């Protein structure tokens, strides 16, 4: 019998799915970022649950307030990637007995801040005693069926784009987990990206309205992982022509002799959107995202050949299908 460690999270999920009967006529497949059901002719109800567990999702240096806010952001990010507007959140808490009243207040404030930041509310929840500190959020959102951005839909020739640069959280996690030094200002920027992640909700809603997007995913498991997931769902490959490397991550990598591409591709815990856009609709997408106060960075294109590659001066090199995976890796292990 295989152990969880040898299985890894994706295989665990596959095994679970094998035993679940599938609701008929689902607008979205089981493997997408969210679940959806058709509620009326022009309304999809979108649902998502994502659990934060301290030992895998809360790095040292993150306060309880930040952890609680992050638990909300993680869930909102998945709705953002689909173009769904969050309506309400539920929160089930697992709280270790050693926590104090002050801790509880910090958690509650963080949850509320996360919800209000994205114009939604915590509607209810449940509290329990547990060995780990756990926040299991569930979010309900709505979306017009025509606006829903699936993982599936990218076609060869589509422009591959992201809503922001990558690499800062991987660098920030190195600072937190390995006590690596960085100059004050740089350190603050890198830590901010880990401790105060943002969901690209305005960007996701604006892009969904533009109807220029053919496929979309959030990048919480890392850019490389997201590209492979989009590739798998859309049956296309990707040629990344220019890595969206954050200048701060480059600076950090140079100082410490690290590979900046590694920070950019395999970091995880970043909540940008990774999308494909029809070339003829690029301007439409650009104008929609500018109106929303966001940005969109073209980084390559979808290709027919089913592989994910990076263009470098030395030629094409494969981007590996790797990133954060529960059971297989621990916070300390992967983020190193």
- CB closer to a copy of itself, 104 vs 286: 104
Q: Across the beta sheet with 134-143, what order do the strands follow? A: 35-40, 43-53, 134-143, 85-95, 122-129
Instruction: Out of 95, 180, 286, 297, point to the residue binding a copy of itself (CB under 8 A).
Output: 95
Binding piece for a copy of itself, criterion CB under 8 A, among 126-134, 149-157, 178-186, 222-230: 126-134
Instruction: Out of 61, 63, 87, 295, point to the residue binding a copy of itself (CB under 8 A).
Output: 87
Q: Residue 148 — left, alpha, or beta (φ > 0 → left; ψ -120 to 50 → alpha)? A: beta
Taking the C-alpha atoms of residue 21 and residue 178, their distance in angstroms, rounded to an integer, is 44
- Give which of 192, 174, 169, 143 is closest to 28, Cα–Cα: 143
Taking the C-alpha atoms of residue 297 and residue 315, their distance in angstroms, rounded to an integer, is 22
Binding piece for a copy of itself, criterion CB under 8 A, among 51-59, 236-244, 247-255, 302-310: 51-59
Binding piece for a copy of itself, criterion CB under 8 A, among 112-120, 152-160, 205-213, 310-318: 112-120
**Do the bridges between strand 308-312 and strand 213-218 make them parallel or antiparallel, or are there none, so unpaired?**
unpaired
Q: Which residues contact 67 (CB under 8 A, 6 or more apart)?
A: 52, 54, 57, 58, 107, 110, 133, 135
The reply to whether 64 sits near a copy of itself by the rule CB under 8 A is no
Cα dihedral sign for 297, 268, 91, 78? Answer: positive
**Between 176 and 215, how does the x/- string for binding to a copy of itself read (CB under 8 A)?**
----------------------------------------
CB of 1 to a copy of itself, least distance (A): 5
- CB closer to a copy of itself, 127 vs 259: 127
The reply to whether 111 sits near a copy of itself by the rule CB under 8 A is yes
The reply to whether 38 sits near a copy of itself by the rule CB under 8 A is no
The reply to whether 121 sits near a copy of itself by the rule CB under 8 A is yes
**Do the bridges between strand 43-53 and strand 35-40 make them parallel or antiparallel, or are there none, so unpaired?**
antiparallel
The reply to whether 27 sits near a copy of itself by the rule CB under 8 A is no
């Amino acid at each position: 019998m295989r152990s969880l460690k040898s299985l890894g999270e994706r295989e665990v999920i596959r095994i679970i799915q094998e035993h679940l009967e599938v609701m008929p006529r689902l607008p979205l497949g089981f493997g997408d970022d969210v679940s959806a059901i058709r509620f009326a002719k022009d309304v999809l109800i979108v649902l998502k649950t994502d659990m934060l567990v301290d030992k895998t999702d809360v790095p040292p240096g993150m306060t309880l307030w930040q952890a609680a806010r992050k638990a909300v952001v993680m869930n909102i990010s998945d709705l953002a990637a689909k173009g769904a507007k969050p309506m309400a959140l539920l929160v089930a808490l697992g709280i270790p007995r050693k926590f104090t009243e002050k801790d509880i207040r910090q958690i509650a404030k963080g949850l509320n801040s996360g919800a209000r930041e994205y114009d939604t509310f915590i509607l209810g929840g449940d509290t329990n005693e547990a060995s780990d500190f756990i926040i299991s959020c569930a979010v309900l959102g709505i979306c017009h069926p025509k606006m829903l951005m699936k993982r599936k839909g990218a076609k060869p020739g589509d422009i591959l784009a992201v809503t922001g640069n990558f690499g800062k959280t991987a660098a920030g996690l190195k600072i937190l987990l390995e006590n690596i030094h960085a100059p004050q200002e740089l350190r603050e920027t890198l830590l901010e990206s880990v401790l105060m992640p943002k969901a690209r909700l305005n960007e996701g809603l604006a892009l969904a309205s533009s109807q220029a997007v053919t496929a979309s995913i959030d990048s919480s498991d890392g850019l490389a992982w997201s590209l492979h997931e989009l590739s798998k769902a859309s049956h296309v490959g990707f040629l990344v022509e220019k890595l969206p490397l954050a200048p701060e991550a480059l600076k950090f990598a140079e100082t410490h002799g690290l590979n900046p591409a590694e920070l950019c591709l395999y970091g995880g815990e970043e909540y940008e959107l990774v999308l494909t856009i029809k070339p003829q609709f690029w301007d439409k997408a650009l104008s929609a995202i500018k109106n929303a106060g966001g940005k969109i960075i073209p980084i390559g294109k979808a290709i027919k050949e089913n592989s994910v590659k990076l263009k470098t001066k030395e030629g094409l090199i494969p981007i590996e299908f790797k990133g954060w995976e529960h059971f297989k890796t621990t916070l300390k292990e992967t983020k190193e």
